[in-house]
């Protein structure tokens, strides 16, 4: 029924064209990219293919799946269908006659995993729909021409593939990585260079004007609209494709020079065989980016070094002949920080509630970082997480009498339960004791739904050794 509603809504014909939101919309300036390696487009996608019924229907379904917050106009994704039923003929007419004017994006700041904040620009849902429709058409035409060494935001490609390719290059003897970090890439993309690259692939001036409109729509901050003279705002469906188009120039240059590299969005690693070669490449590529794309390399975050001391998409690599994927130290630190936040002993929530919320994070984390090849680290993180949960239970029991009764109830021998319940040590120290390992075994947390970080290899074998040490008469166990 929903699909039929979509068809009715988007099959309204040309209808009434309607008036443009800004009839005096500025004409698009089509710059020429000096470093563009593609030939000028003889034809290319048209606006008719973007507003075509089936394409719009697929775009609508994708926007609904993505959900997302409202833009500057406050319209929600749920309200999009009823709005389109009434206004789609006018919007379609504006797109076809080249007068559609995108609305300013809503500025949102989100914390970055590595510290600081990332600026997002949230378009209104109508603009997200149109960007998604344009993305579907443009990506189908452009993606096959992109480099085989590019993995970010591309159909059928993933971060795991990028990490695996990097691993293979290291294993083949490329022992030095030129780790390039582009300074605020998404915020500093030059509009004229980018539009020049688009113009090499698109001849329909309505599409060129629409993309330029999205780039220069402005940003709503504290009720005021500010201009956007550079950058492609993160948050819109079209932004990743435009960033790939921009950095494809870098890819083609690296291929032309015969370099071995892997790029995922603005993370680019070039692999060479010596430190001296790496330093030459860093200097040369930095000059190329500045001269041809007007992009700046962040020298504080970029380096020429051994891959083992750098991170790539959250992973690092072991040294030696048998190169393996491992978790980068920053990844482990972020994992612990997030789990600590979710398992604070002052949250006033039951153990069941905490495990339920924690499991959502762990499943998502495992889905990505379970790709590492060092299960020992994953098991250590599992043990540490269970210890956090045992500390919560101990804290919630509060009194010694309650603690003793609960330990006995959970199968702990009186001789062990008594000194543990009367111990003066805090919850974190007691959480590592044999008594709590018995009271809260691994199997207990599994019944609560706590997922394993190493699902392919059981970690609750009865033959597993337990390492102990003494805490003032109370033994300690890692479990």
Question: Pick from 253, 230, 259: which is nearest to 31 by CA?
Answer: 230
The Cα diameter of the chain in Å comes to 86
Q: Dihedrals φ, ψ of 333, to 5°?
A: -65, -40
The residue with tokens 């102990």 is: 468
Please tell me the least confidently modeled range out of 72-76, 170-174, 217-221, 406-410.
217-221
Helix or strand (DSSP H, E) at 232: none
Side-chain half-sphere CA neighbours of 21 within 13 A: 11
Per-residue confidence band for 68, with pLDDT thresholds at 50, 70 and 90: confident
Query: Would you say residue 13 has pLDDT above 50?
Result: no
Q: What is the pLDDT of residues 148-191, one digit of tens each?
A: 999 999 999 999 999 999 999 999 999 999 999 998 888 889 99
Q: 3-state class of 372 per DSSP?
A: coil
Per-residue confidence band for 121, with pLDDT thresholds at 50, 70 and 90: confident
Burial 61-93 (b: 16+ CB within 10 A, else e): ebbbeeebeebbeeeebeebeebbeeebbbbbb
Q: CA-CA distance, 2 to 4, in Å (whole number)?
A: 5
- pTM, to two decimals: 0.81
Query: Would you say residue 226 has pLDDT above 50?
Result: yes
pLDDT at 31: 38
pLDDT at 116: 66
- Helix count (H) and strand count (E) of the chain? 19, 12
Q: What is the pLDDT of residues 45-57, one digit of tens each?
A: 999 999 999 999 9
Please tell me the least confidently modeled range out of 112-121, 383-392, 446-455.
112-121
DSSP assignment of 163-187 equals HHHHHHHHHTT--EEEEEEBTTHHH
Q: Dihedrals φ, ψ of 272, to 5°?
A: -130, 180
Query: Would you say residue 83 has pLDDT above 80?
Result: yes
Q: What is the pLDDT of residues 414-429, one digit of tens each?
A: 999 999 999 999 999 9
Query: Would you say residue 3 has pLDDT above 60?
Result: no
**Beta-carbon neighbour count of residue 130 at 10 Å?**
27
Whether 198 and 296 have beta carbons less than 8 Å apart is answered as no
Q: Please measure the distance between the N-terminal and C-terminal CA atoms of the chain and give it in whole angstroms.
A: 52
DSSP assignment of 9-57 equals HH---S------S-TTPPPPP----TT--SPPPSS---HHHHH-HHHHH
């Amino acid at each position: 029924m929903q699909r039929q509603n979509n068809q009715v809504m988007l099959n309204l014909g040309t209808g009434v064209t309607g008036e443009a939101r800004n009839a005096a919309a500025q004409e698009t300036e089509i710059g020429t990219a000096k470093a563009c390696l593609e030939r000028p487009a003889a034809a290319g996608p048209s606006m008719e293919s973007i507003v075509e019924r089936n394409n719009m229907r697929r775009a609508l379904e994708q926007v609904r799946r993505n959900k997302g917050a409202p833009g500057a106009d406050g319209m929600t994704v749920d309200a999009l269908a009823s709005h389109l039923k009434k206004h789609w003929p006018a919007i379609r007419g504006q797109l076809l006659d080249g007068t559609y004017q995108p609305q300013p994006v809503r500025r949102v700041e989100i914390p970055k995993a590595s510290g600081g904040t990332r600026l997002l620009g949230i378009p209104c849902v109508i603009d997200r729909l149109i960007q998604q429709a344009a993305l579907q058409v443009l990506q189908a035409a452009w993606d096959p021409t992109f480099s085989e060494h590019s993995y970010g935001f591309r159909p059928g490609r993933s971060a795991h593939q990028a990490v695996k390719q990097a691993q293979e290059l290291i294993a083949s003897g490329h022992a030095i990585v030129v780790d390039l970090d582009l300074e605020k890439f998404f915020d500093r993309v030059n509009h004229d260079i980018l539009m020049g690259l688009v113009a090499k692939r698109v001849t329909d001036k309505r599409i060129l004007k629409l993309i330029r409109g999205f780039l220069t729509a402005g940003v709503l901050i504290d009720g005021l609209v500010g201009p956007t003279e550079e950058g492609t705002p993160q948050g819109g469906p079209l932004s990743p494709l435009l960033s790939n188009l921009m950095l494809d120039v870098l890819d083609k240059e690296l291929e032309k020079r015969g370099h071995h590299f892997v790029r995922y969005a603005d993370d680019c690693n070039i692999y060479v065989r010596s430190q001296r070669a790496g330093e030459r490449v860093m200097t040369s590529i930095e000059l190329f980016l500045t001269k041809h794309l007007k992009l700046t390399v962040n020298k504080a975050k970029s380096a020429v070094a051994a891959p083992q001391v750098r991170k790539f998409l959250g992973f690092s690599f072991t040294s030696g002949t048998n190169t393996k994927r491992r978790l980068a130290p920053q990844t482990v630190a972020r994992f612990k920080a997030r789990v600590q936040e979710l398992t604070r002993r002052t949250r006033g929530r039951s153990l069941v509630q905490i495990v339920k919320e924690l499991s959502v994070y762990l499943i998502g984390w495992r889905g990505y970082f379970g790709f590492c090849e060092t299960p020992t680290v994953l098991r250590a993180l599992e043990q540490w997480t269970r210890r956090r949960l045992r500390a919560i239970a101990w804290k919630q029991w509060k009194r010694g009498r309650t603690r003793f009764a609960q330990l006995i109830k959970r199968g702990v021998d009186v001789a062990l339960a008594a000194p543990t319940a009367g111990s003066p040590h805090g919850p974190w120290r007691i959480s590592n004791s044999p008594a709590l390992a018995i009271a809260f075994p691994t199997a207990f947390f599994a019944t609560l739904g706590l997922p394993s970080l190493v699902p392919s290899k059981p970690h609750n074998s009865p033959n597993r050794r337990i390492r102990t040490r003494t805490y003032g008469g109370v033994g300690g166990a890692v479990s």
